[in-house]
Amino acid sequence: MKKSCLPTNLILAALFFVFAWFQRNDIDPEIYSKPSFDNPTLDSLLWFLFYAVIGCAFLVLIKRGLPIWYFALAVAACFAEMLYSGPGLWDNLFGEKAFTMTGVSMSGTDPRVELSREFFGALLALLAVAFQYWQTKRRA
């Protein structure tokens, strides 16, 4: 890999590890109207793993490319989360209440706020995976 990608990959890996770290506080059942698995702890753990795996993939890319199965799973996970959380974003944008990403505070009790955040988290992850794919193809 060209040296110019090394600092970028290190920064992006660190960023996704920070995202993963923030998930440890996202276990509040009052935030979720419908957690993905009726279990906020499991939902938070899956988000932690989701971000951590993407962070690890950036570190792997420093030495070698990533396998195609990784991209298939990562893209599927991103789209699944975007489909799940999309209605909350739609309601946040076009519903009766005014659009917000914070609610009363950053610990939003409004489910559409949390779903909007999750949608944008999945979108950001999808962009990261696309960048990883570009790097892998560039190596070949």
Using one digit for the tens of pLDDT, what is the confidence trace for 8-19?
999 999 999 999
pLDDT one-digit tens code per residue, 114-126: 888 889 999 999 9
Q: Could you tell me the pLDDT band of residue 46, with boundaries at 50, 70 and 90?
A: confident
pLDDT one-digit tens code per residue, 92-110: 899 888 877 775 555 556 7
Check residue 139 and give its pLDDT. Answer: 84
Least Cα distance to 33 among 87, 79, 96 occurs for 87
DSSP state of 105: S
What's the Cα-to-Cα distance from 108 to each of 2, 29, 83, 116, rounded to whole Å?
A: 42, 11, 21, 11
Token pair of 70 as six digits: 């990784």
Domain coordinates of the chain in residue numbers? 5-139
Burial (CB count within 10 angstroms: exposed 0-12, middle 13-18, buried 19+), residue 39: middle
Rounded to 5 degrees, what are φ and ψ at 69? -65, -35
Q: What does the mean pLDDT of the chain come to?
A: 84
Token pair of 39 as six digits: 């279990």
